[in-house]
Amino acid sequence: MKNLLVTGGAGFIGSNFIHYMQKQNADIRIVNLDALTYAGSLENLKDLPRPEQHLFVHGSITDRALLDQLFSEHKIDTVVNFAAESHVDRSILNPGVFVDTNVIVPVEGARFHHVSTDEVFGTLTREDPPFEEETPYAPRSPYAAAKASSDHFVRAYQTTFGLPISISNCSNNYGPRQFPEKLIPLMILNALNGKPLPVYGDGMQIRDWLYVDDHCEAILRILQDGREGETYCVGGDNQPPNIEIVKTICDILDELQPDSAFAPHSQLITYVADRPGHDRRYDINIAKIERELGWKPSHDLRQGLVDTVRWYLSNPAWVEAITKQSDYDNWLKKNYSDRKA
């Protein structure tokens, strides 16, 4: 792995992966292909450890001529695919965009690792066992359905064309550089500004939360030692309800900003109408990747949330740039203004 192509590398997880890889491997050269949709930003690529070994290319993974050019010029030997629209609420309002972006055809000619999601498995009751690699697919949102389609394409290319592939299905990521439409950064920024903290339904939806650097480490382990053709479930090994996440963020902000005019920040919590078809519970079994590759998350949830809150507090310029260059304000109005308490 000397010449790495990262698709979607200006987004949340992709940009963190590039930062992580440059810290881990001083010699690797990274070509970063990103279409710069609303959630992708060059702001995420500032302060790279080795900017001279990173090349950004504005383009799409669907542009075959561009891909052929990049493979030829840069001798690409490994591809890690992060390119995706990933917000379920947006997929409900505009499903077609998710089909266009997320149903990818794999790139031939190199080792291809595809980053997928646990949402392809559907939802769990409280009594169901966690998702694992052999869990049947049962997507319940346009986002999850599009990601499931791309997983099937990747496996089909292995079977039909012998493409060396691997897939990881991850749980909910959080950490630095996450576009603030998602739960954790949305709650942090709204609380800092004294805005309501909109919690869907009763707030008892359960998710497994994975700190983004732990996810990056898991992907590197798969690239280095994972078996060709295998799928690995990657999670944070925790399953709190959403309302607990929100209350923990409020507690952390109370500790870090005790003089805030909005403390206690929990007073900002507002329950709103639930998302249509909202999956009730996700849980993911990480036994396979721990057993085969020796990986397990190194961040516990509270410390990961503390680190995340501190990052957003320390990077107001990033927040301002990200929210101004996108449709962030319009999106918040569209998604939340009509939701009744």
Question: Which tokens in the block code for residue 11?
Answer: 């987004």
Residue 86 has pLDDT above 50, yes or no: no
Residue 104 has pLDDT above 50, yes or no: yes
| pLDDT tens profile 127-183 | 999 999 999 999 988 888 888 988 998 999 899 889 999 999 999 999 999 988 889
- Percent of the chain surpassing pLDDT 90: 73
Task: Kindly list the structural domains of the chain, giving each domain's residue range(s) and its CATH number in brackets, ordered by start.
Answer: 3-177+209-238+278-301 (3.40.50.720)
Nearest-angstrom CA–CA distance, 97 and 140: 17
Indicate if 118 belongs to the active site.
Answer: yes
Mean pLDDT of 117-131: 94
Q: Which of 162, 164, 186 is nearest to 174 (CA)?
A: 186
Nearest-angstrom CA–CA distance, 188 and 308: 9
Q: Which of 4, 176, 29, 148 is nearest to 81 (CA)?
A: 4
Indicate if 232 belongs to the active site.
Answer: no
Q: Give the active site residue among 143, 174, 200, 232.
A: 143
**In this predicted structure, what is the pLDDT of residue 274?**
85
Nearest-angstrom CA–CA distance, 100 and 307: 35
**If DSSP codes are grouped into helix, strand and coil, which group holds residue 15?**
helix
| pLDDT tens profile 260-299 | 999 999 999 999 988 777 889 999 999 999 999 999 999 9
For 93-125, b/e burial (b = at least 16 CB within 10 A) is eeeeebeebbbbebbbebbbbbbbbbbbbbbbe
249 near 184, Cβ under 8 Å? yes
pTM of the shown model: 0.91
Residue 92 has pLDDT above 80, yes or no: no
Q: Give the active site residue among 34, 89, 118, 283.
A: 118
**In this predicted structure, what is the pLDDT of residue 230?**
97
Mean pLDDT score across all residues of the chain: 90
Nearest-angstrom CA–CA distance, 241 and 206: 4
| pLDDT tens profile 36-69 | 887 789 999 999 999 999 999 999 888 889 999 9
Q: Give the active site residue among 34, 85, 119, 214.
A: 119
Indicate if 143 belongs to the active site.
Answer: yes
| pLDDT tens profile 192-236 | 999 999 999 999 999 999 999 999 999 999 999 999 999 999 999
Nearest-angstrom CA–CA distance, 170 and 119: 9
